[in-house]
A and B are shown apart, each in its own frame.
Chain A
Amino acid sequence: MVGWSMKTTWRAAFSAMLMVSAAAHADTPVLQAEQSDVATLPPVAPHWFLPATAHDAYTIYDGDAGHILGTVPASGLGNIVLSPDRKVFYVADTIWSRGDHGTRQDLLQEYDARTLKLLREIELPPRALAVYKKQDFDVSPDGRWGYVFDMSPATAVTVVDLAHASVARTVDIPGCALVFPWKTGGFSSLCGDGSLTNVGYAGGAEVKVTHTKPFFDANNDPIFEQGLVDRATGRALFVSYSGKVYATTLGQDPVIGAPWSIQQAAGQPVAGTGVQDLAWRPGGAQPFAWNRASGHLFVLMHMGTYWTHKTAGTEVWELDPVAHALVRRIDLPEPARGIAVSPDAAPLLYSTAENGKIATIDVRTGTVRRTIEAQAGPVFLVPDM
């Protein structure tokens, strides 16, 4: 009897609560049914960065907010370039009709940078297939030509007419590899004899090919594949295994500056090429970055012996390549295999640790702003450079 009475009391109290609650929300509109829509992106911003990530993609991040804005599909064998007018992402990639076999297709894919919709696909001759090589593909500064490195294993470059979405022609570059676009009218490639080959092309059937004299020692101190080009000026920075920087103005007849030592610029001993010469050295899978606003070079450095050119770096050295001077050394939170720097005057440095985490670092203070669980590989795309 007592139990029944208690139940009744509780029920009455609960009903009263519901009535009060309903009265309180009586003037709140009922949530409406929703239509599914699709996000679009704002214009590409200086602090965006795109690491190569898991699931065959380059993932677009807002470096300030530290979150994902979108995804551009590209395999680890693929290459991505942002068009100079920032309106299009180009992806050069290779796929097979049956996943891991079947008909091979090499494609240059064009994605709208606002909608990420696939706009066009241009069929290519077989590309070079290598793990994470950014310098396998680039676009001319006027946005007119795409340059795709081929290796079968004969080496060549396919020139793509981006205005007409077609292959213009293929140029053999025997003994040479990779593409470094000029300010206008062609590209250069690094050669096994320590020289550059220079391919002038402005449309039509005619190409002009020149060679520089050997300027680096490909046997004993080769230049890294990951040379940097500022498309706006046609200037390039090539760095050797031991840390010598060759500032070059690319063109039909490149102007190559006398090499200077990163370590010497930083007041450190010059690195030798002996297998037991312990010194600060550049290394990693994407060891260099170039900030357009300051013109400063950023190098991923580690302490090691010769032949440690793939070893992860513990510091990033910011250098003034005009004054041949160290600006600052930045400690990394974890050893990194790849770095990138935003192009603006308030630069962010991005570094990928071996566990796939990316640190975003304020270059001016050296402080880590964020650590992002990005599932990232060691290569990045950033705007402009």
Chain B
Amino acid sequence: MSVSFLDRLGETATRKLAARSSRRGVLGRMSAAMALAPAFPLLPVSRADAASAPAPAATLSDFERRAQSKDATKCNYWRHCAIDGVLCGCCGGGVHTCPPGTEPSPVSWIGTCRNPADGRSYVIAYRDCCGRDICATSKDCHCNTADREMPIYRPQASNDIIWCFGTASTAYHCSTAAIVGQAS
């Protein structure tokens, strides 16, 4: 499910511009966001704890039918069901590890993905790694999937946003896919 060169070009053009902003200011506004919109879980942890993730589909989506659980550097790796960006595993990091010199965003968008190895669904936090320009990896490592992906008015499930809030720099480098918990 890789995207075109021009998509990546556009992504590069946009994301390379994201850069440093005031951490204190951002955290203040994040607090405001949570105070103002308590029904709007922005942290994936609260999302998982609330057990409000969508129930796994009775039948499998096209992504789920084709997903594999062996190679985390591929777009069809099961955790990448709703990712939009460059895989950090292709950039010196790993599926939940940021590459050297970058910093994970404390907030992220989330997906609910089915692991074909155990048949269970898990809540996945797609944490962007921030602080460097976009990783110059191959086209195969740039993914854009959309299972349960939502518009920006549901930001916690929206993957077009530059998710580098609360980091020292808001430059986008790559995206990880960390397990938060089992979806209920």
Smallest beta-carbon distance A181→chain B, Å: 17
Q: Which of B11, B60, B154 contacts A131 (CB 8 A)?
A: B11
Q: Is the CB of A307 within 8 A of B149?
A: yes
Which of B5, B7, B33, B150 makes the CB contact (< 8 A) with A152? B33
- Known contacts A75-B14, A76-B13, A174-B37: does B133 contact A191 (CB below 8 Å)? no
> Within the assembled complex, what's the spacing in Å between the Cα atoms of A126 and B84?
23
A49, B14: Cα distance in complex, Å: 21
A172 to B4, CA, bound (A): 36
**Chain B: interface size category:** 35 or more
Interface status of A16 (Cβ within 8 A of chain B): no
Closest to B33 in A: A154
Are A190 and B32 closer than 8 Å at their CB atoms?
no
A-B contact pairs, 18 of them (CB 8 A): A54-B6, A54-B13, A76-B13, A77-B18, A96-B17, A98-B19, A131-B10, A131-B14, A151-B155, A151-B161, A152-B29, A153-B107, A174-B36, A176-B153, A178-B152, A275-B57, A307-B61, A356-B6
- In the complex, how many angstroms separate the beta carbon of A148 from the nearest chain B beta carbon? 14
Shortest distance in angstroms between A136's beta carbon and chain B's nearest beta carbon? 9
Contact check, B162 vs A130: say whether CB atoms are below 8 A apart.
Answer: yes
Task: Check if A133 sits within 8 Å of B160, measured CB to CB.
Answer: yes
Q: How far is the CA of A282 from the CA of B112 in the complex (A)?
A: 23
Contact A152 B59 (CB under 8 A): no
Residue of B nearest to A126 (CB): B21
Q: How far is the CA of A100 from the CA of B32 in the complex (A)?
A: 27
- Given known contacts A96-B20, A129-B161, is B151 in contact with A222 (CB within 8 Å)? yes
Cross-chain contact A354 with B153 (CB below 8 angstroms) = no
Q: Identify which of residues 174-190 in chain A touch chain B, using a CB-to-CB cut-off of 8 Å.
A: 174-178, 189-190
Are A101 and B39 touching (Cβ within 8 A)? no
The smallest beta-carbon distance between A358 and chain B, in angstroms, is 11
Query: Hey, which bits of chain B sit against chain A, CB under 8 A?
Result: 3-7, 9-11, 13-21, 26, 29-30, 32-33, 36-37, 39-40, 42, 54, 57, 59-64, 84, 107, 133, 144, 146-155, 158, 160-162, 165, 169-171
CA distance A224 to B153 in the complex (A): 10
A188 CB to closest chain B CB, in angstroms?
12
Q: Are A100 and B36 in contact (CB under 8 A)?
A: no
Partner pick for B17 among A75, A155, A192, CB 8 A cutoff:
A75
Is A77's CB under 8 angstroms from B14's CB? yes
A8 in contact (CB, < 8 A):
no
Name the interface residues of A45-97: CB closer than 8 Å to any CB of B: 52, 54-56, 75-77, 94-96
**Contact residues of A with B, CB < 8 Å?**
52, 54-56, 75-77, 94-96, 98-102, 104, 126, 128-133, 151-155, 172, 174-178, 189-193, 218-219, 222-225, 274-276, 305-311, 337, 354-356, 375-378
B10–A310 contact, CB under 8 A? Answer: no
B155–A305 contact, CB under 8 A? no
Q: Inside 8 A of A102's CB, which chain B residues have their CB?
A: 19-20
A101 touches B151 (CB 8 A): no
The chain A residue with its CB closest to the CB of B151 is A225
Given A96-B19, A223-B151, A309-B149, A152 and B14 touching (CB < 8 A)?
no
Contacts of A95 in B (CB 8 A): 17
Within the complex, which residue of B7, B32, B84, B152 is in contact with A225, where a contact is CB–CB below 8 Å?
B152
CB distance from B64 to the nearest CB of A (A): 8
Q: In the complex, A129 Cα to B167 Cα: how many Å?
A: 14
Q: Is the CB of A356 within 8 A of B4?
A: yes
Give the dominant DSSP class at A's interface. Answer: loop
Q: Which of B10, B57, B146, B169 contacts A101 (CB 8 A)?
A: B169
Instruction: Establish whether residues A175 and B39, one from each chain, have CB atoms under 8 Å apart when the complex forms.
Output: yes
Q: Are B54 and A152 in contact (CB under 8 A)?
A: no
Q: How far is the CB of B4 from chain A (nearest CB, A)?
A: 4
Contacts of B4 in A (CB 8 A): 354-356
List chain A residues, Cβ under 8 A from B20: 96, 101-102, 104
Q: What B residues does A305 contact at CB under 8 A?
A: 61-62
Bound complex: CA of A54 vs CA of B148, how far in Å?
30
**Given known A-B contacts A129-B170, A174-B40, A376 and B6 have beta carbons under 8 A apart:** yes
Known A126-B21, A376-B6; judge A192-B11 contact (CB<8 A).
no
Q: How far is the CB of A364 from chain B (nearest CB, A)?
A: 29
A residues less than 8 Å from B144 (CB atoms): 310
Q: Is the CB of B36 within 8 A of A129?
A: no
B59 pairs with A153, CB closer than 8 A? no
Residues of A within 8 A of B15 (CB): 76, 131
Closest CB-CB distance, A15 to chain B, in whole Å? 57
Do B146 and A377 touch (CB < 8 A)?
no
Chain A residue at minimum C-beta to C-beta distance from B22: A104
